[in-house]
Amino acid sequence: MNIITLLLPYQPPWNWQQFHGHFALRAIPGLESLDADSYSRGFSIDGVPGWLRVTPLPGQNALELRCRIASPAHLDQLEQRVRRMFDLDSEPATIARHLSADELLAPLLLRNPGLRLPVAFDPFEQAVRAIVGQQVTVKAAVTIVGRLVQRVGTPIETPQALGINRLFPTPQALAEADLTGIGMPGKRVQCLQHFAARIADGSLKLDLQEGSAALIERLCALPGIGPWTAEYIALRAFGEADAFPASDLGLLKAPVWGAGGIDARRLKIRAEAWRPWRAYAAAHLWHCYSGG
């Protein structure tokens, strides 16, 4: 296996602390690890395991990607995934110009220029996180996904300093696992395993080849998956720039709306003007909601 180091440039502004905060809140022990200036994880591409470590390079407008992969043929795919994960191909000036036309968003954009969309490394992993996260806190979802990783994930060998020893479960392994006592209601376990089985047998495609609207429709057709989950998967699994989970509590209760918040119907109407960058508007509203 080769250890390779790559430089991943981006167009500023870009804020490491935004990504560190996002991943720190959601990191799964054994699968991912963070310190003040790096993010590490295990991964599998085409069934072949590896590990990666991402470090920001101050003053260089670039990230350093250090990784161990079995085949150089996987390097392009890995680089694309990490670029998407840290939203390195975004055009902050274009997005800011459009969203600043909204008087409520304009101050948020000035306060947090270049806010991006943190995206999951793997779409299936993000979909599982979103299904597990229905109607529970982020912390509770992380605990349950952590149990899934420990119970069903494949062990992996990495340098001890990385603190990584597991891969995320494959769709087939998750579909067939005994999830008794995992900490989810029975209906949600059924939903999760049905979803994993459909991915495993190829009858459900988790991609944007036909556009995000088609993916959201496919997901909403599954038992136990509603519009919030489907929109959230499009946003966090693929970095879909116009995905917008309008019923999300953080969006509805963001301080910009005042003490009473806003309802999902009115928010959806308001958000029409934010197209095709609604996901970036959501990023600013979430940041505002969490006190950023």
Q: What is the CATH number of the domain that holds 216?
A: 1.10.340.30
Question: pTM of the predicted model, to two decimals?
Answer: 0.95
Residue 164 domain flag: yes
Query: Same domain for 153 and 283?
Result: yes
Examine the pLDDT at 34 and tell me if it is beyond 90: yes
Per-residue pLDDT for 41 more than 90?
Answer: yes
Give the per-residue pLDDT at 114. 85
155 & 258 share domain = yes
| Shared-domain flag, residues 156 and 280 | yes
Q: Are residues 75 and 147 in the same domain?
A: no
User: In the numeric block, which tokens belong to residue 269?
Assistant: 């109407």
Whether residues 43 and 145 fall in one domain: no
Average pLDDT over residues 58-82: 93
Question: Containing domain of residue 20, as a range?
Answer: 2-90
> Among candidates 287, 289, 243, which has minimal Cα distance to 109?
287
Name the percent of the chain lying above pLDDT 90: 93
Same domain, yes or no, for 202 and 275? yes
Looking at the fold, whether 25 and 159 belong to one and the same domain comes out as no
Residue 117 resides in a domain: no
User: Which of 90, 108, 143 is at the close of a domain?
Assistant: 90
**Please, which residues have CB within 8 angstroms of residue 112's CB and are 6 or more apart in sequence?**
15, 18, 284, 287, 292
Distance CA 153, CA 140 (A): 19
- The answer as to whether 253 is a domain residue is yes
**Among 90, 110, 142, residue at a domain's last position:** 90
pLDDT reading at 147 higher than 70 = yes
Give the pLDDT score at 256.
96
Taking alpha carbons only, the member of 3, 39, 9, 5 closest to residue 22 is: 39
Do 137 and 274 fall into the same domain?
Answer: yes
Q: Pick the last residue of a domain from 90, 109, 137.
A: 90
Does residue 102 lie within any of the structural domains?
A: no
Q: Is the domain of 71 the same as that of 215?
A: no
Per-state percent for the chain, helix, strand, coil, to nearest 5 = 50, 15, 40
Q: What is the pLDDT of residue 286?
A: 96
| Residue 213 sits in the same domain as residue 167 | yes
pLDDT at 1: 64
pLDDT computed for residue 292 by the predictor: 64
Q: What CATH number should be reported for the domain holding residue 31?
A: 3.30.310.20
Name the 3-class secondary structure at 260. coil
* 4-33 pLDDT tens trace: 999 999 999 999 999 999 999 999 999 999
109 within a domain of the structure (yes/no): no
* Same domain flag for 209 and 266: yes
- The total domain count for the chain is 2
Q: Are residue 182 and residue 272 in the same domain, yes or no?
A: yes
Mean pLDDT score across all residues of the chain: 95
